[in-house]
Structure 1
Amino acid sequence: MGGSAFSASLPASALPRIPPAVYYAVKARLTPRLETLYSVVSTPHEAPEKADHGDLDFLVCEPLNGAMGEVPHDAVQTLLVARYVVPMPGNRTSSYAVCITPGEWGPLGHASEEKEARRQAMETDNQQELYYQVDVHVCSDKAEWERIQFFNGYGDLGMIMGLIARNKGLALGSKGLKVPHVPRTPFELSVSMDEIMQYMGLSMERWKAGFRTKQEVFEWVATSPLFDPVRFQAEGQGFKKVKPERKMYAQFVQWVREQQKHLVESGSAEGALRHTMDQEEQVQHALKYFGKKEEFDALNREDAEKARLREGFNGTKVRAWTELTGGQWKELKLIMDEVRGRVGGEPGILKILDERGEEGIKEYVLQAKEKLGVQSAALPEQKEAAEA
């Protein structure tokens, strides 16, 4: 069956799969209505060879109400004549259940399919009405709309491109091209799909022209220099598990497996490998291409310095050097602050670590303890020994 947004209010049988002719007719009917609320209204390019549809997806942005705020969900519900709505605030996807008028599919050549859908709904769930699930995703601006429009176009193509990028140590999604940067958030390379496509060596004009078959999609995306059939992976660490309904994605993976088998059997795998970059080479290439290498390297240096500080100057080590007890946390802080102030903060500590190692820091710690007159509190066993 179709969409699942209304599982709490409607049985699955109430949302039948939609034949292509019906899908395009409903899309043509609802698009002008949404255009009275938003200046930009579109649906992502449909997957090639798609037999039917589960729902209708609209991408919208730039409200026409003259206000900077959101278009109220009830206004969209009224406009679409939707019986039910699952509203989501902000730049997210809201779902609307639009009633299928009895006999609506007949003039489009699908009377029998509608009759069968109604029979199943009645017999299975005593459900008399059928609905289309209409999803409306509100984009924050035109730039976000362009990215989501691209990434959701032609079925699983965006996910396939993301898989190719992931194989090269990059992350591609509806928010652009990035470099994974643990423990930081992913490092942004570009949010422009034109730039990203150019980097991946794929023609935007060819993408706009469309694809008649999934085979055309596979062959086109495989022309990217980033596509590496020898090292290609779709499972394992770093790869997300894909939902079973992503059949086009699974078919692409199988298609690549066949390419790999052919390379091995023909003895040409090693030669193909020489013409591609490994992950680290690709990441460095991308950073230079987008002019982000200096910024990325600076962040890495900052992270490395923080790690050295945590390792060479921390509460555990200072406590051991000064023989402070666990309850003397105030004294511990005073000593550490005194050291920082005396050597010029973290840069000074790093310099001492570079020149003299932890022994150099330890000297400053003990000097700070003496200057502040901090005394180590007697441990319980020490107190018992003294009393005895």
Structure 2
Amino acid sequence: MGGKAFTSGLTPLDTPRMPPELYYSLRDHCLCLLFPLYEEVATPIEAPSKTSYGDIDILVSQPKSSSKPPSTRIIAKNLSAIRIFTTPGSHTTSFALPYPNRSDAYVQVDVHLCPPETFHWQLFHQSHGDLWNLLGTTIRPFGLTANDAGLHLRIPEIEEFNRKRGMLLMTRQPDEVLDFLGLDPDVYAQPFESVEVMYEFVVACRFFRGESYTRDELRANDRKRMVQRDVYRRFVDEWLPANVTFVKTRPRETMPWLMREHMQEAALERWGKKEKFEIRIGEWRRERRELLGKQEGRQKRKDDALELEKYVGAWVNWLEGGGNVE
């Protein structure tokens, strides 16, 4: 929510940004207050070089009471929150806590409930702020997409018509993904010292290609990020042009298989998903054949009906003309 969940409506609240020392103190305090309720409680690693914070994001999973998971009111009570904000269908609930030593000011805490199977992946994927926006642009040309459910391989034949069905899950194991991308998990596990160090980490990906970040190559979502995400824009417009030599001298993957179709085979082999890939393709092709057959059948019936209509019309005209043949 970016700290804006409570700033509108009939009775808006003031939720000023927090300096780092206050943010870290409140973050750790909130984590302690939620540990009695959930087995898994954590905050993603913060983005580098932030001088203030708009809210506190906390991921939770596996309620300790399986018979009666904690309600939002119980969570609010543990956090001493004065207001709750929820969106239907969302797994995130926002809580407004009193801002320390300031009257009529509040801190927004977003608590996101994760399924147990995706908790550690989501914690990994949400870390370092805009990092995965940048890495996403690197891996997308090779048919790979990382979202809150895991790393997926996009199947070209299917994604053209159905993006969701065209995505085949490869893994939710963070270290496996970093290894495949040629990135150091020990570096990832710690906050980056600066945005520039994070940029260098992105370029260290063995599949990084600077041409993917030219404005002509950017997709609609990337162009949107250029407007909304300053860290992304600075990487494209400022850092890359200023560091051409550094980028070119980085060790680079030069194997001839560095193409989308070869990457697909490498990913399927790495995670043993060849059989699932073939099943997905087979199901899709069968459905397409059946759909095409139905469309052809409908078209044939339509054509037959039109032909019959012409035939009947000709007979009617002949009869109305007296049935004579000159």
Q: Which range, TM-score by smaller chain?
A: 0.7 to 0.9
CA contact (8 A) 2:48 2:194 kept: yes
How many angstroms apart in 1 are the aligned matches of 2:11 and 2:229?
23
* 1:242 counterpart SS class: helix
Structure 1 residues 138-163: Cα deviation after superposition (integer angstroms, max 9, x where no partner): 1111x311111111111211222222
Q: What is the deviation of 1:36?
A: 1.6
* 2:94 counterpart SS class: strand
How many angstroms apart in 2 are the aligned matches of 1:263 and 1:27?
37
* 1:135 counterpart SS class: strand
Report the counterpart of residue 194 of structure 2 in structure 1: 213
Match of 2:126 among 148, 152, 162: 152
Alignment gaps of 5+ in structure 2: 321-326
2:124 paired with 1:192: no
Q: What is the deviation of 1:219?
A: 1.3
1:229–1:317 Cα change, 3 Å: same
How many angstroms apart in 2 are the aligned matches of 1:385 and 1:55?
79
1:278–1:256 Cα change, 3 Å: farther
AA in 1 matched with 2:111: V
Report the counterpart of residue 99 of structure 2 in structure 1: 100
How many angstroms apart in 2 are the aligned matches of 1:233 and 1:278?
19
AA in 2 matched with 1:167: P
Structure 1 residues 152-186: Cα deviation after superposition (integer angstroms, max 9, x where no partner): 11121122222222132211122111122423421
Structure 1 residues 278-324: Cα deviation after superposition (integer angstroms, max 9, x where no partner): 33332332223222234324433443454455546622443267x34
Structure 1 residues 246-304: Cα deviation after superposition (integer angstroms, max 9, x where no partner): 2222233335632785599x9x9xx9795572333323322232222343244334434
Report the counterpart of residue 381 of structure 1 in structure 2: 313
1:312–1:145 Cα change, 3 Å: closer
Larger Rg: 1
Report the counterpart of residue 318 of structure 1 in structure 2: 300
AA in 1 matched with 2:194: T
AA in 2 matched with 1:387: L
2:60 paired with 1:78: no
Q: What is the deviation of 1:325?
A: 5.1
Structure 1 residues 10-67: Cα deviation after superposition (integer angstroms, max 9, x where no partner): 7877111100011111112222111121121111111111110000111111112242
Report the counterpart of residue 253 of structure 1 in structure 2: 236
1:212–1:11 Cα change, 3 Å: farther
Report the counterpart of residue 134 of structure 1 in structure 2: 109
How many angstroms apart in 2 are the aligned matches of 1:317 and 1:71?
57
**Given the two structures, how large is their TM-score scaled by the length of structure 2?**
0.80
AA in 2 matched with 1:86: F
AA in 2 matched with 1:384: V
1:307–1:19 Cα change, 3 Å: same
How many angstroms apart in 1 are the aligned matches of 2:270 and 2:131?
24
CA contact (8 A) 2:76 2:95 kept: yes
Q: Number of residue pairs matched?
A: 309
How many angstroms apart in 2 are the aligned matches of 1:243 and 1:12?
30
CA contact (8 A) 2:142 2:260 kept: yes
* 2:83 counterpart SS class: strand
Structure 1 residues 353-383: Cα deviation after superposition (integer angstroms, max 9, x where no partner): xxxxxxxxxxxxxxxxxxxxxxx67765245
Q: What is the deviation of 1:245?
A: 4.5
How many angstroms apart in 1 are the aligned matches of 2:135 and 2:218?
18
- How many percent identity over aligned positions? 26
Question: Which aligned segments of 4 or more residues in structure 1 are displaced greater than 6 angstroms?
Answer: 10-13
AA in 1 matched with 2:203: A
Alignment gaps of 5+ in structure 1: 104-127, 327-375
AA in 2 matched with 1:250: R
Structural RMSD (CA): 3.4
* 2:17 counterpart SS class: coil
2:142 paired with 1:178: no
Q: Aligned ranges for residues 1-388 of structure 1 at < 5 Å? A: 3-9=3-9, 14-67=14-67, 69-88=68-87, 92-102=91-101, 129-141=104-116, 143-181=117-155, 182=159, 183-184=161-162, 185=165, 186-233=167-214, 236-237=218-219, 239-240=221-222, 241-242=224-225, 244-254=227-237, 257-258=240-241, 261-262=244-245, 277-308=258-289, 310-311=291-292, 314-319=296-301, 323-324=304-305, 381-382=313-314, 384-388=316-320
